[in-house]
Amino acid sequence: MSMWSPWRGCKRCSEGCKYCYIHKGDFKRKVYTSKIIKTKDFEKPIEKCKNGNYKMKSKLVYVCFSSDFFIEEADEWRKECWKMIKERSDLLFLFLTKRIDRFYDCIPEDWNDGYDNVVICCTIENQKNADYKLGIF
């Protein structure tokens, strides 16, 4: 299993964010969570060794566990991520989102041409959100 955090930081968007582990950890380290920043690992899936092989080898890649892959602040960056995900069709990319209602704003134009290597999980924390989000999901 690999972790890929192309950006970090997040903003609360629902009741389920109340006990967010990222905010909690950042608070202890005095890090301002609401500032969304690209990380040095942005291009991690396509980084290569000197011999030309990809560095990232493990099949399953957990994406954006220090943020939300569908957060608004990353709209411009996400396009590059989709390209990398498509390039690495040999890997399986999995992420969770609390923003499934942004799905159509966040998928790439060629979504129907590939991306079988993407698993999207939707976090639903209460009945109100189940009623709202499950239909979209």
Q: Whole-number minimum distance, CB 34 to ligand SF4, in Å? A: 9
Residues contacting 40, CB < 8 A, separation 6+: none
Residues 13-42 interacting with ligand SF4 (rule: CB under 6 A)? 13, 17, 20, 22
Structure tokens at 106: 């966040």
* Segment contacting ligand SF4 by CB under 6 A, of 5-13, 37-45, 80-88, 127-135: 5-13
Taking CA atoms, 51 is separated from 13, 43, 58, 87, in Å, by: 44, 18, 18, 18
Q: How many residues bind ligand SF4 (CB under 6 A)?
A: 8
Question: Which of 11, 83 has the CB closer to ligand SF4?
Answer: 11
Q: Which residues ranging from 75 to 104 are in contact with ligand SF4 (CB under 6 A)? A: 98
Q: Which one of the spans 9-17, 41-49, 113-121, 128-136 is the region binding ligand SF4 (CB under 6 A)?
A: 9-17
We find the least distance from the C-beta atom of residue 16 to ligand SF4, in angstroms, to be 6
Lookup result for tokens 């890997």? 91
Residue 68 contacts ligand SF4 per CB under 6 A: yes
At CA 45, angle to CA 43 and CA 50, rounded to 5?
A: 90
Query: Largest Cα–Cα distance of the chain, in whole Å?
Result: 52
Q: In this structure, are residues 98 and 73 in contact, taking their beta carbons and an 8 Å threshold?
A: no
* Binding interface with ligand SF4 (CB under 6 A): 10, 12-13, 17, 20, 22, 68, 98
